[in-house]
Amino acid sequence: MRIASVGTAFPPHRYPQADITEALKEKMQDKLEIPAIMNRLHENCGVDYRHIMFPLDTLGTLTSFGTANDLWIKGAVELGQQAIQKALDQVGLEPGDISAIFFTSVTGIACPSIDARLVNLMGFPKDIKRTPIFGLGCVAGAAGISRAIDYVRAFPKQYAILLSVELCSLTWQENDSSMANLVACGLFGDGAAAVVLAGEETPLAQKPTSVEDPCPRVVDTRSTFYPDTEHLMGWNINQTGFNIVLSAEVPDLVSNELRGTVEDFLSDNELGMGNICSFIFHSGGPKVLKAMESSLGLPPHALAASWNSLRQRGNLSSASVLTVMQDFLLNRPGSPGCYSMIGAMGPAFCSELLLLQW
């Protein structure tokens, strides 16, 4: 089973972090006891730019959950189509070549789901298998690849595709002055990513892989659930939409748990930390990335691609790790035979790891 390609798409509205902060402060000034706190929080998010679904001068016009969710459906279909088409074009496939589509998002809801709407729009086969996923949050990019890999493992002559669309700006709550919301509206951005997964007996998986044309093999996957940690991250959903749950304890859990999880996973594959040439990790935020670096004892710049994604786009929830994967395919592929690890963590609290070989 191989990761054949990654395609990405972003809304046309891209702003410097400082511009977004000022616009939010203006809209929330009556709720902020000390407006300067937002400046400090957003400056510490490690974000320079973000794409958002709406022009900043329209901030505050989404007055209901229904209005925001309608915009999420429209944006998810548009960006999803773009990301999928880019991923398919990179490897010379058509929608008709895909046997299964997995869709993940945690920033909106739709029934029929977004994947169904794209089947109609893009001409996927009528017998395509669809798996919409909701609720995994930031971990869903890595988890979605794992579930799609499970599929092509069972059907080695077939291709599957994973689509992640996260429009985090549509969940911002202007009436919520909690620390968690102030951090979230400075950290999360909007974007989409699609990944083509090739079964072992497909032509894409059979062709020779190289640094110039990388197509890493997925050796193994690992899901880990950390009991009694539901309170750390998620949503409280009410009449205004999605209210963020984001605990300051998350970096501590990463520091305490990630090393053991990674070492157990590698040991089961008769490998150790020294066998991993690169780490393709979710851009969760500065404190989370530093906790990952510290827990695993990583050398300087080991997570440079993750830090760069955070600076240029913010945390894209489930799509972030997929944009980092794209960076590795295009700019940082491993030499043939070496191993890499994809990793993400998210609500429950849980982690998802994938072991790759180039």
Q: Residue 169 sits in a domain of what CATH number?
A: 3.40.47.10
pLDDT for 257-316, tens place per residue? 999 999 999 999 999 999 999 999 999 999 999 999 999 999 889 999 999 999 999 999
Residue pair 53/68 in contact by the 8 Å Cβ criterion: no
Considering 140, 173, 205, which residue would you say is the last residue of a domain?
Answer: 205
Tell me the pairing of strands 2-9 and 13-16. Answer: unpaired
User: Can you tell me the distance from the alpha carbon of 11 to that of 307, in angstroms, rounded to the nearest whole number?
Assistant: 21
Same-domain check for residues 246 and 165: no
Residue 252 sits in the same domain as residue 295: yes
CA distance 148 to 156: 12
DSSP letter assigned to residue 59: T
Q: Are residues 130 and 223 in the same domain?
A: no
Beta bridge mates, 357: 217, 339
Main-chain dihedrals φ then ψ at residue 37, nearest 5 degrees: -60, -40
pLDDT tens, position by position, 100-123: 999 999 999 999 999 999 999 999
DSSP 171: G
Give the list of residues 6+ apart from residue 110 with CB closer than 8 angstroms, or none: 69, 72, 73, 76, 117
Among 168, 184, 205, the domain-final residue is: 205
Give the pTM.
0.94
Same-domain status, 237 and 347: yes
Asked if 219 and 158 sit in the same domain, the reply is no
pLDDT of res. 188? 97
Per-residue model confidence (pLDDT) at position 339? 97
Please indicate, yes or no, whether residues 201 and 219 belong to a single structural domain of this protein.
Answer: no
pLDDT score of 211: 65
Q: How many domains are contained in the chain?
A: 2
Same domain, residue pair 177 and 279: no
What pLDDT, on a 0 to 100 scale, did the predictor assign at position 151?
98
Helix 36-43 / helix 179-187 crossing angle, nearest 10 deg? 50
- When computed from its CA atoms, the radius of gyration of the chain, rounded to whole angstroms, is 20
Measure the CA–CA gap between 220 and 347, rounded to whole angstroms. 22
Q: Are residues 246 and 281 in the same domain?
A: yes
Same domain for 124 and 30, yes or no, is yes
Residue 218, pLDDT score: 97
Domain check: are 274 and 142 in the same one? no
What pLDDT sits at residue 319?
A: 98
Instruction: Read off the tokens for 125.
Output: 């086969």
Specify whether 163 is located in the same domain as 247.
Answer: no
Active-site option among 45, 138, 168, 215 = 138
Q: Which residues of the chain have pLDDT under 70?
A: 31, 211
Average pLDDT, the chain: 94
CA–CA gap between residue 26 and residue 32 (Å, rounded): 10
Sequence-distant (6+) residues with CB within 8 A of 151 are: 100, 102, 129, 158, 160, 197
What does the pLDDT read at residue 60? 76
Last residue of a domain, one of 143, 171, 205: 205
**Is there a catalytic annotation at residue 45?**
no
Check whether residue 219 and residue 331 sit in a common domain.
Answer: yes
Range of the domain at 267: 212-357
Which residues pair with residue 281 across a beta bridge?
Answer: 343
Output the pLDDT for position 30.
73
